[in-house]
Amino acid sequence: MSQKTQKPTLTGQRIKTRKRDEKEKYDPSSFRDQIVAGLNEVNADLELASKFLIQSGSKLDFRRYAEALLDILITGGILAPGGTIVTDNAAISSICVFNTEQDVDNMRNVIQLFERMIRQYKYLEKSLDDEMKKILMFLKGFTDVQRDRLTLATYLLISSSLIQPTCLIQILNDHLVNEGIALEFARCFFSAWLAEKDAPGLINILKKAEMDGKLMMLFPVHKRSIETFENYFNEADLKPIVDFQRNQNARIVTKEMKSRIKRLLEDESTAEEITSYMQETCEKNKIENLDIIPLLWSSLMKGVEWNKKEDLLAEQILRHLKTYASVLQRFTTTPATELLLLQKIQEFCYDNMSFLKLFQKIVMLLYKVDVIGEDTIIKWFKSGHSSKGKSVFLAQMEKMVEWLQSAEEESSEEEDDDEEEED
């Protein structure tokens, strides 16, 4: 009896794809057309525009089309790579940053749209951060007017904490710096901030953006100098930026100077070589003598390995200071700088106990080589001293000050006698 061969069958479960599970085609152009049409229908009424956008979020996929949505609210359309607005015969939104007057109050009203959108759809917060990083890269593709309006909007978005300041670092890209676009953006941003807020707040923003130490990079490489920087921002009436950069530059330069002086001392360079280097650096970077004195004294003292024995130490420091006295003399050109040097010597001797008893000897040497004048020493003794080790150092200096005062009185009497003889 023959058996009928059983036909093979497919195993497993057949799943029918539901229509709702089918992935919709990504179509930013269609999304744009719906958003732009809705915004243009409200006839520039920002309140109605806000309601339209919030209601549209329940119908349209804002999460998926976040980039397109934010492009529209900033530029009026969708951006192509490079910053060009994709037209393809589509309408442009009348409500956007680019179509808002260059006025803080008008721009602030538009920024409120972003604030309400983010409040309603929290996920747009990160999207807006990413959008600003992208759009600031495209500055070259916009017109001057569009860039100015975008700068004002950036200030309002950052100051309202709607975006992180980190987006600002994008303007330091070479193509924006070399075209002068980065510098113009920074000038407009700083001006907008300082017109309403304070300088410390702006500096804090720059620190968060990691730009506080990179402001010189706003200029093309061949124009990066403190003089160019100060001239540009002084003309723009942005003195707080000039002061900040001057301090930043001084910190960088003084750090370099400390290292260089240390190497020069190790190489046993002459006082003339050290003076020449410091003078050139100070003039180039506009560093005042009052800022140099603490650095110079500290560097001269750190550049030597001091002897442990007290008598040999005294001989060593006096020899060392005599060798480099002309360097100190070059920068102690006023009573104020002389007094500052005296104070720094006092603090050094107090902080380094081996030198505690040598203060008077150091001062006497510097007096003899014309680094510090007698008037300055007397002023220091009476009221100009530091509180550090005050009683110890005043006791050391008492006899010397008495001697200086008596010598001054004798000199004064001799001058009076000379005048009488002439009469």
Range of the domain at 230: 28-244
Residue 156 lies in a domain: yes
Residues 56, 78: contact at Cβ < 8 Å? no
Residue 333 has pLDDT above 90, yes or no: yes
Can you name the residues that pair with 79 across neighbouring β-strands?
85
Mapped onto helix, strand or coil, the DSSP state of residue 383 is helix
What pLDDT, on the 0 to 100 scale, is given for residue 287?
Answer: 86
Residue % of the chain over a pLDDT of 90: 73
Compute CA 111 distance to the chain's CA centroid, rounded to the nearest angstrom: 27
- 224 shares its domain with 294: no
Q: Residue 330: in which H helix or E strand, if any?
A: helix 325-331
Q: CA-to-CA distance for 95 and 74, rounded, in angstroms?
A: 9
Residue 4 lies in a domain: no
Residue 124 has pLDDT above 50, yes or no: yes
Q: CA-to-CA distance for 275 and 266, rounded, in angstroms?
A: 15
- 297 shares its domain with 224: no
The length of the chain in residues reads 423
pTM: 0.73
pLDDT digits (tens, 9 = 90+) for 181-219: 999 999 999 999 999 999 999 999 999 999 999 999 999
What pLDDT, on the 0 to 100 scale, is given for residue 173?
Answer: 95
- 140 shares its domain with 200: yes
Q: CA-to-CA distance for 276 and 353, rounded, in angstroms?
A: 33
Residue 10 lies in a domain: no
Of residues 107, 108, 110, the one with CA closest to residue 47: 110
CATH classification at residue 361: 1.25.40.180
Residue 338 has pLDDT above 90, yes or no: yes
Residue 255 lies in a domain: no
- Record the tokens describing residue 401, joined without a space: 């000050």
As a whole number, the mean pLDDT across the chain is 89
Residues 121, 57: contact at Cβ < 8 Å? yes
- 133 shares its domain with 193: yes
Of residues 209, 157, 208, the one with CA closest to residue 182: 209
User: What integer is the mean pLDDT of 346-362?
Assistant: 94
Residue 6 has pLDDT above 90, yes or no: no
What pLDDT, on the 0 to 100 scale, is given for residue 250?
Answer: 83
- Record the tokens describing residue 82, joined without a space: 């490079």
User: Which stretches within 11-87 are classed as H helix?
Assistant: 28-41, 46-56, 66-75
Least confident interval from 83-92, 272-281, 283-292, 330-339: 83-92
User: What integer is the mean pLDDT of 398-412?
Assistant: 81
What pLDDT, on the 0 to 100 scale, is given for residue 14?
Answer: 55
Residue 3 has pLDDT above 70, yes or no: no
Residue 282 lies in a domain: no
- 337 shares its domain with 219: no
Give 284's pLDDT tier (boundaries 50, 70, 90).
confident
What pLDDT, on the 0 to 100 scale, is given for residue 21?
Answer: 47
Give 254's pLDDT tier (boundaries 50, 70, 90).
confident
What pLDDT, on the 0 to 100 scale, is given for residue 311?
Answer: 84
Q: CA-to-CA distance for 311 and 21, rounded, in angstroms?
A: 92
Cβ contacts of 214 within 8 Å, gap of 6 or more: 169, 172
User: What integer is the mean pLDDT of 129-141?
Assistant: 94
- 180 shares its domain with 234: yes
Residue 298 lies in a domain: yes
What pLDDT, on the 0 to 100 scale, is given for residue 111?
Answer: 94
Residue 261 lies in a domain: no
Q: CA-to-CA distance for 7 and 5, rounded, in angstroms?
A: 6
What are the distances in angstroms from CA 301 to CA 36, 111, 190, 319, 349?
71, 57, 42, 12, 11
Q: CA-to-CA distance for 311 and 251, rounded, in angstroms?
A: 37
What pLDDT, on the 0 to 100 scale, is given for residue 251?
Answer: 85
Residue 15 has pLDDT above 70, yes or no: no
Q: Count Cβ atoms within 10 A of the Cβ of residue 395 and give its class: 0-12 exposed, 13-18 middle, 19 or more buried.
A: exposed
User: What integer is the mean pLDDT of 388-399?
Assistant: 93
What are the distances in angstroms from CA 220 to CA 176, 247, 389, 412?
10, 21, 51, 60
Least confident interval from 151-165, 192-206, 334-348, 407-421: 407-421
Residue 1 has pLDDT above 50, yes or no: no
Last residue of a domain, one of 244, 271, 299: 244
Total number of domains constituting the chain: 2
Residue % of the chain over a pLDDT of 70: 91
